[in-house]
Amino acid sequence: MLNSAWRTAICTLIGTGLAATAVPAARADDGVPAPCADRVICTGTHQPGSTPTGGGGGTSGGGGGGGSDTCTWNGKDVPCYVPQWGWFSAGCYYQPSNPQPLAGEAAWQGHSSKDGAVYDMACIANTNEIQPLGQTFLAQPPGATPPKTPAQVAYDALVSIEVAEPVLHAAPAGDAVVGSPVWLWIDPDPKVVGPLSSKLPGQGFEVTTTITLAEVVWHVDDGPGGVREFTCKDAGNPFSRSGTPTCSHVFTESSARMKDKAYSLSVTLKWHVTARSSDRTPIDMADYDWWPTYTQAVLNVPVNEVQVVN
């Protein structure tokens, strides 16, 4: 049966998501904290490694020393930070061991300094005194934000990718006619049409996220008729009298009734998204596929009626 020190050490902090398995340097069956029966509620804002204003020392009554930040444990207010003991979490205080144990020592629990750190742990006993219980390994400091997963870092890399503003073209540019295909394309600038990548570090890894152009959605402002859309599977190819357009549109009405006697065209770029960690493990980015880039570029295309001469 687990002794009370061990039971306290494996309690989970509700509200911060911290769960730590502690390995005390020595077993202590007398005067140790009882099992966690109550939730820990912390108020105020604090960051690991900083000291709340007004903090003081002490070894009784929850460690003594008040500050602007307080936590509640077993129905009593205790300071979230005590300089002598560190930060409070689930009935115990933690501070980094100084010096850190040598690599391979038992306190690391099979981990290394790349994975986290070893902390001195001291817990509040039934007598409300703080008693040291040895060392434990933690992947993150008590109260710290959990490290981001590879998928979260991949998303951060995705939103950091900058797509340059496209330059839009149409041909024929000034004498397009109703019923005849109008070539449409974007300057083939790699900063616009990609592929584009961004690399960001995580905790112990790096992630590279890449976007590859999937399609271009063209929007045509049809005035009273509203905005119509059509899709091209690529950025289009420049006009050539002997070539065939990969992106084109046939207008069915002249633009005579439109402002400036021209249709206004704009585009949204949509991207396939992939990501890999530094060990080349793929990261699932299905939720972000067809990622859109909304642009400000506008192209005005006058469209004329065909004049029939008898």
Structural domains in the chain (count): 2
38 three-state secondary structure: coil
Looking at the fold, whether 163 and 47 belong to one and the same domain comes out as no
Q: Which domain holds residue 10?
A: 4-138
Question: What pLDDT is recorded for position 66?
Answer: 35
Question: Which carries the bigger pLDDT value, residue 174 or residue 190?
Answer: 190
Question: What pLDDT is recorded for position 310?
Answer: 55
Q: Is the pTM of this model over 0.85?
A: no
Looking at the fold, whether 133 and 174 belong to one and the same domain comes out as no
Nearest to 157 by CA among 191, 202, 195: 202
Q: Determine the Cα–Cα distance for residues 154 and 148; give it in Å rounded to an integer.
A: 10
Q: Are residues 296 and 219 in contact, defined by beta-carbon separation less than 8 angstroms?
A: no
Rg (CA), the chain: 32
Question: What pLDDT is recorded for position 242?
Answer: 87
Is 210 part of a structural domain of the chain? yes
> Is pLDDT at 149 greater than 60 in this prediction?
yes
| Each residue's pLDDT tens digit, 219-243 | 988 666 677 899 999 999 999 888 8
Is 261 part of a structural domain of the chain? yes
Looking at the fold, whether 47 and 96 belong to one and the same domain comes out as yes
Centroid of chain to Cα 212? 20
Looking at the fold, whether 164 and 59 belong to one and the same domain comes out as no
Q: Determine the Cα–Cα distance for residues 4 and 131; give it in Å rounded to an integer.
A: 13
Q: Which of 105, 138, 171 is the last residue of a domain?
A: 138
Is 144 part of a structural domain of the chain? no
Nearest to 144 by CA among 224, 64, 42: 42
Looking at the fold, whether 172 and 288 belong to one and the same domain comes out as yes
Q: Which of 138, 158, 181 is the last residue of a domain?
A: 138
| Each residue's pLDDT tens digit, 172-183 | 877 788 888 899
Band (pLDDT 50/70/90 cuts) for residue 1 is very low
Is 143 part of a structural domain of the chain? no
Looking at the fold, whether 132 and 175 belong to one and the same domain comes out as no
Question: What pLDDT is recorded for position 37?
Answer: 29
| Each residue's pLDDT tens digit, 45-66 | 333 333 333 333 332 233 333 3
Looking at the fold, whether 119 and 158 belong to one and the same domain comes out as no
Residue 22 sits at the vertex; the CA angle it makes with 16 and 24, to the nearest 5 degrees, is: 145
| Each residue's pLDDT tens digit, 67-115 | 336 788 888 888 888 888 888 888 899 989 989 999 999 999 999 998 9
Distances (CA, A) of 269 to 230, 242, 284, 295: 12, 28, 21, 8
Q: What is the DSSP string of 123-142?
A: EE-TTS-EEEEEEEEESS-T
CA atoms within 13 A on the CB side of 114: 5
Is 252 part of a structural domain of the chain? yes
Could you write out the three-class secondary structure of 202-220?
CCCCEEEEEEEEEEEEEEE
Looking at the fold, whether 270 and 162 belong to one and the same domain comes out as yes
Looking at the fold, whether 93 and 237 belong to one and the same domain comes out as no
Question: What pLDDT is recorded for position 54?
Answer: 30
Chain mean pLDDT for the chain: 76
Looking at the fold, whether 241 and 292 belong to one and the same domain comes out as yes
Is 116 part of a structural domain of the chain? yes
Is 118 part of a structural domain of the chain? yes
Count the neighbouring beta carbons within 10 Å of the beta carbon of residue 225. 9
| Each residue's pLDDT tens digit, 257-282 | 888 888 889 999 999 999 999 999 99
> Is pLDDT at 36 greater than 60 in this prediction?
no
Question: What pLDDT is recorded for position 52?
Answer: 32
Looking at the fold, whether 240 and 274 belong to one and the same domain comes out as yes
Q: Which of 111, 138, 165 is the last residue of a domain?
A: 138
| Each residue's pLDDT tens digit, 114-135 | 899 999 999 988 878 888 999 9
> Is pLDDT at 146 greater than 80 in this prediction?
no
Is 310 part of a structural domain of the chain? no
| Residue position matching structure tokens 């990969």 | 246
Distances (CA, A) of 51 to 40, 124, 141: 20, 20, 14
Q: Determine the Cα–Cα distance for residues 183 and 186; give it in Å rounded to an integer.
A: 10
Looking at the fold, whether 167 and 90 belong to one and the same domain comes out as no
Band (pLDDT 50/70/90 cuts) for residue 142 is confident
- Sequence-distant (≥ 6) Cβ neighbours of residue 257 within 8 angstroms: 223
